[in-house]
Amino acid sequence: MEAVKRRYFSNLGVMLGRSMRHITRSMDTIISVTIMPVALLLLFVYVFGGAIQTGTDNYVNYLLPGILLIAIASGVSYTAFRLFTDVQRGIFERFHSMPISRSTLLWGHVLTSLLSNAVSLVVIILVAILMGFRSSAGILPWFAVAGILMLFTLALTWGAVIAGLSAKSVDGASAFSYPIIFLPFISSAFVPTNSMPSIVRAFAENQPVTPIVEAIRALLSGQSVGNDIWVALMWCVGITFIAYFIAIGVYKKRA
């Protein structure tokens, strides 16, 4: 049993290293995942921020949670792209012919998504601090924020796995993230939902991004999170489980 465990983690380390090397060697990935959300942050704070009424004096504090979610949605699209590429090039078949644990092929991509997105989020938060972001939260709320963001990343990553394994073209694999990137724009990420028309408001208040944004915003501002954090966790955990089992089913058919 110990030998099996050692081999599993050894295989996982190899797959993780392989996937991480693809990230570091692809400058367009780094630019898209990090620079695009930073550009949105700059645009909304310095161009639109003065015209948006949120009831707060510091718009960057209000805006940051939504930008972080957009960065994650943008980042996981590359997981779908890399998986699609592996499938098309027959990489999975080559690995399946070797004495390695098959599940490590997927988990290598998933862990790479978690690590690369974590780095992007740290960079975006540092830029936000330079722009005036301030938080009164203690260490525990920050850990809670990190946990929510990682759960959200994990949920979207397993969705990206489904897209990467099922897509018929590279455009189809990459298109997975487009609706998710758009969701924060129809939520409380940029403006309060009470300023929206009734139909749009109903959608905004009952989709997963709004409670996640509200929970992160409350934690970072040192305010009571109320039920938002539980709703956010339910969305993240529910999506993760559903996407995971679907992804495993698709992978077994592929294998």
CA–CA dist 133, 197 (Å, integer): 30
Quote the CA–CA distance of 67 and 37 in Å, as a whole number: 6
The gap from C-alpha 105 to its chain's centroid, in whole angstroms, comes to 20
Number of other residues whose CB lies within 10 A of the CB of residue 135:
17
Angle at 154 between CA 150 and CA 156, to 5 degrees: 115
Q: What pLDDT does 67 receive? A: 93
Q: Which two tokens stand for residue 210?
A: 């709004």
pLDDT for the residue numbered 27:
65
Give the pLDDT of residue 96.
Answer: 67
CB 194 within 8 A of CB 201: yes
C-alpha count within 13 angstroms, C-beta hemisphere, residue 100: 21
Contact between 54 and 62 (Cβ < 8 Å): yes
What is the pLDDT, as a whole number, of residue 222? 82
DSSP secondary structure code for residue 189 in this structure: T
Residue 94's pLDDT is what?
A: 75
Distance CA 33, CA 121 (A): 9
Query: How is residue 132 annotated by DSSP?
Result: T
What Å distances lie between residue 50 and 20, 59, 128, 135, 187, CA to CA?
A: 40, 8, 17, 21, 19
Q: Report pTM.
A: 0.89
pLDDT string in tens for the chain (255-residue length): 454 456 777 777 777 777 777 777 776 666 777 888 888 888 888 887 666 767 677 888 889 999 999 999 988 888 888 888 877 877 777 776 676 777 777 888 888 889 888 988 999 999 999 998 888 888 999 999 999 999 999 999 999 999 888 888 877 777 777 888 888 889 988 888 888 888 999 999 899 999 999 999 999 988 888 888 899 999 999 999 999 999 988 888 866
Q: How much is the pLDDT for 144?
A: 93
Residues near 150 by beta carbon (within 8 Å), at least 6 away in sequence = 114, 118
- Residue count (the chain): 255
